[in-house]
Amino acid sequence: MAEVVFRDLAAKAGIGARIASSSAGTGDWHVGEPADHRTVEALHRRGYDGATHRARQFDSDWFDDLDLVVALDHSHKRILDHWAATPENQAKVALLMDFAPHRGDTLDVPDPYYSDDAMFDTVLDLIERACAGLVHQLEPALKRDFRR
pLDDT digits (tens, 9 = 90+) for 28-86: 888 999 999 999 999 999 999 999 999 999 999 999 999 999 999 999 999 999 999 99
**pLDDT at position 105:** 85
Share of the chain above pLDDT 70, in %: 97
Q: What is the CA radius of gyration of the chain?
A: 15
Mean pLDDT, rounded, for 115-124: 95
| Rounded-to-integer distance, Cα 56 and Cα 143, Å | 31
H/E element holding 42?
A: helix 37-45
Under 8 Å between Cβ of 73 and 95: yes
- Give this prediction's pTM: 0.92
In sequence order, which residues have a C-beta less than 8 Å from that of residue 132 and are 6 or more positions away?
9, 101
Helix (H, G, I), strand (E, B) or coil at 119: helix
Largest CA distance in the chain: 52
Under 8 Å between Cβ of 58 and 22: no
Under 8 Å between Cβ of 123 and 1: yes
**pLDDT at position 145:** 58
Question: Is the model's pLDDT at 124 over the cut of 90?
Answer: yes
User: What is the Cβ-side half-sphere exposure of residue 10, based on CA atoms within 13 angstroms?
Assistant: 21
Q: How far is CA 129 from the centre of its chain?
A: 12
Domains and CATH numbers, the chain: 2-143 (3.40.50.2300)
**pLDDT at position 148:** 46
Q: What is the DSSP letter of 68?
A: -
